[in-house]
């Protein structure tokens, strides 16, 4: 039987503490809330009253339920009033010594069987627990902000926490309508450890001028469906807060990927802390505002800069697979004449049939008229010879992800295409410069990485090796905007932007599992419910395919030689065993 928690305590009534009090009281539990001064206690009470009033105004809480909720809350400055509570949640500022003092004081006034929980987001629960006479009854209970809204609660066990304590607190969190996950005592726990490692890497990309802030953020929003880009999220969190979390993670792990990017310290010193100061990676209308305003780093819209653009009216597509047919559809729908090159007439006919099928679906759904469908199909012709692409202004290669095959195609295009034709590759992982080297016109070669399905996904990564002419990059960026895609610019490195940020995060998730730190379900739940991601890492890995993921991770490690990028043994073993994800029915989960 799970322990009953009829009366609990909360120490600290800042934003998080007040939110936690509201959660408990809404769940029918009496709460004793403690602050250090009468003024702080009154302010905390006001926060609870304001939050619940907003809930009433939005129709999420009845007025009588609000009155009952507030009746269950008692605010005091006397710590001794916690003597008869079954659980105390500490929610004071994120300083180890301050939290330790609170736990030592609680140890004196609370009953021997009272459970102590800390809402810390990064500090060691073990270090806090040893400041008490009851380390086996100390646990982390990390709510996410705003606590009344966010479903995730991370429950952090130490090596001496009693299993019954974890089980009882987990049952309590579920009773409160939360989605609890259990993990070991490691800096950052699940969500922050995975999230901030990814954010730190994105900051490093910005600092090295590999990609601009807007491009980094757009890449992860449109390429992965994330609710916010990494740099916009850093501004929301606060660069000082992010720095402190990364510092604590690095202190405990000594993992170089947790060491804060140097630019963070510089920005913090300059007072650029994010939204709360009105400037961070972006500039805001005023401190605390979410409205971004243009500044010196804001890039001009596609086609509006001073670069000369090459005229584009006829587009070639090499390939007849899923990606190639999607790209052909995108260009034809945008009004461009398209020539699809297939290895045989039947392959070309199949490509047109695939486009027709896609357009028919759009007609059925009311997203496209029959006239528009017919006009789009009329713009597509096919050829079996590379010479059929001779008059194209740009040719997009979308064939097998094999460097030798791609180089042969680029060599053939080099021979037949007119001077000034842009040659683009849709590779997702191979070096674009290697394709350029197969031609006598490397300045005309660029990466144009569409995401699958090309007809639906908005993102296109424009990859410019050192050989690409500036007007080629500018022309392709403008072209992407004309076909209603979201172009982002980056250099020619393995993974470009999206894969270079996404797959190390996925690999870190597998390493967590391999270390028995947390379960598949808890890690997935933490990232979905705590970070608002559309899928948890293991669900995504099973969709992508473990073999595909392994190949990408190997290419990233080969390029950067960062130890944390090396594929985890568990992933290697699953691929060897044929557990490749949904396509085989078995991956991190079973689907049959």
- Buried b or exposed e, range 211-222, using 16+ CB within 10 angstroms: bbbbbbbbbbbb
Quick one: which of 313, 306, 305, 299 has its CA closest to 479?
Answer: 313
Residues 6+ apart with CB under 8 A from 270: none
Residues β-bridged to residue 153: 143, 180
Give the ranges where 290-448 is alpha helix by DSSP (H). Answer: 322-333, 345-364, 370-378, 403-416, 432-436
- Whether 192 is catalytic is yes
Residue 361 tokens, joined: 């679906």
d(CA 257, CA 95): 23
Catalytic residue among 192, 428, 499, 525: 192
The rounded radius of gyration (Å) of the Cα atoms in the chain is 28
Helical residues (DSSP H) of 58-190, grouped into ranges: 63-71, 96-109, 125-129, 163-175
Dist. CA 55–CA 59, nearest whole Å: 6
Expressed in angstroms, the distance from the first to the final Cα of the chain is 34
Whole-Å CA distances, 453 to 111, 150, 320: 60, 32, 14
Name the 3-class secondary structure at 277.
Answer: helix
Catalytic annotation, pick one of 22, 154, 214, 244: 154
Q: Which of 223, 236, 158 is closest to 195 using CA atoms?
A: 236
- Report the b/e string of 237-260 with b at 16+ CB within 10 A: bbbbbbbbbbbbbbebbeeebbbb
- 3-state SS assignment for residue 223: helix
At 51 the three-state DSSP class reads helix
401's CB contacts (< 8 A; 6+ apart) are 427, 428, 429, 430
- The alpha helices in 133-212, defined as continuous H runs, are 163-175, 191-207
Peptide bond into 450 cis (omega under 30): no
Residue 152 CA to residue 370 CA, distance in Å, equals: 47
Strands (E), 480-536: 486-490
Position of tokens 């606060």?
A: 238
State how far the Cα of 429 lies from the Cα of 53, in Å rounded to an integer: 52
Catalytic choice (22, 119, 124, 142) = 142
In the set 118, 121, 129, 429, the catalytic residue is: 121
Q: Cβ distance 559 to 493 under 8 Å?
A: yes
What is the rounded distance in angstroms from the CA atom of residue 7 to the CA atom of residue 187? 30
Joined tokens for residue 486:
């979201």
Per-residue DSSP letter, 523:
H
Instruction: Please confirm, yes or no, whether 344 is among the known catalytic residues.
Output: no
The answer for 335, left when phi > 0, alpha when psi is -120 to 50, beta otherwise, is left
What residues are labeled active site?
121, 142, 154, 192
């Amino acid at each position: 039987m799970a322990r009953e928690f009829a009366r609990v305590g909360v120490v600290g009534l800042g934003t998080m503490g007040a939110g936690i009090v509201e959660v408990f009281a809404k769940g029918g539990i009496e709460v004793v809330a403690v602050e250090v001064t009468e003024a702080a206690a009154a302010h905390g009470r006001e926060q609870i009253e304001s939050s619940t009033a907003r809930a009433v105004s939005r129709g999420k809480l009845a007025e009588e339920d609000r009155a009952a909720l507030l009746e269950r809350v008692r605010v005091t400055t006397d710590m001794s009033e916690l003597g008869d509570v079954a659980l105390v949640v500490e929610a004071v500022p994120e300083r180890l010594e301050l939290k330790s003092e609170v736990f030592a004081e609680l140890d004196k006034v609370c009953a021997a069987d009272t459970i102590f929980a800390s809402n810390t987001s990064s500090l060691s629960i073990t270090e806090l627990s040893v400041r008490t006479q009851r380390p086996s009854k100390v646990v982390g209970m990390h709510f996410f902000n705003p606590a009344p809204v966010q479903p995730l609660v991370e429950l952090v066990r130490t090596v001496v926490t009693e299993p019954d304590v974890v089980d009882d607190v987990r049952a309590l969190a579920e009773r409160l309508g939360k989605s609890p996950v259990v993990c070991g005592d490691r800096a950052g726990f699940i969500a922050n450890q995975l999230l901030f490692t990814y954010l730190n890497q994105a900051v490093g990309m910005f600092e090295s001028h590999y990609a601009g802030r807007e491009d980094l953020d757009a890449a992860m929003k449109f390429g992965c469906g994330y609710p916010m880009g990494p740099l916009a999220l850093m501004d929301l969190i606060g660069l000082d807060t992010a720095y402190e979390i990364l510092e604590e993670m690095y202190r405990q792990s000594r993992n170089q990927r947790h060491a804060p990017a140097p630019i963070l310290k510089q920005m913090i010193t300059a007072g650029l802390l994010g939204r709360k100061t009105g400037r961070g990676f972006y500039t805001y209308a005023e401190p605390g505002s979410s409205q971004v305003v243009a500044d010196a780093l804001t890039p001009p819209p596609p086609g509006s800069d001073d670069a000369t653009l090459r005229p584009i009216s006829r587009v070639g597509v090499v390939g007849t697979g899923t990606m190639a047919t999607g790209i052909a559809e995108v260009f034809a729908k945008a009004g461009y004449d398209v020539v699809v090159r297939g290895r045989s007439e039947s392959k070309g006919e199949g490509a047109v049939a695939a486009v027709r099928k896609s357009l028919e679906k759009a007609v059925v759904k009311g997203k496209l008229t029959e006239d528009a469908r017919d006009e789009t199909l009329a713009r597509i012709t096919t050829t079996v010879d590379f010479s059929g692409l001779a008059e194209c202004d740009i040719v997009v290669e979308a064939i097998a992800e094999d460097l030798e095959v791609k180089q042969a195609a680029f060599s053939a295009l080099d021979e037949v295409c007119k001077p000034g034709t842009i040659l683009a590759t849709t590779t997702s992982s191979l070096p674009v410069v290697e394709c350029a080297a197969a031609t006598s016109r490397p300045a005309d070669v660029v990466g144009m990485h569409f995401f699958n399905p090309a007809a639906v996904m908005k993102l296109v990564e424009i990859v410019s090796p050192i050989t690409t002419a500036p007007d080629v990059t500018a022309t392709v960026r403008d072209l992407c905007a004309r076909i209603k895609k979201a172009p982002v610019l980056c250099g020619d490195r393995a993974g470009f932007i999206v894969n270079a940020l996404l797959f190390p995060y996925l690999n870190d998730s597998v390493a967590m599992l391999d270390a028995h730190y947390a379960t598949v379900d808890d890690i997935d739940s933490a990232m979905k419910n705590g970070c608002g991601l559309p899928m948890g890492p293991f669900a995504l890995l099973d969709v992508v395919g473990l073999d595909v993921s392994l190949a990408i991770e190997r290419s990233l490690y080969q390029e950067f030689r960062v130890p944390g990028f090396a594929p985890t043994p568990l992933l290697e073993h699953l691929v060897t065993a044929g557990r490749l994800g949904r396509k085989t029915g078995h991956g991190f989960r079973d689907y049959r």
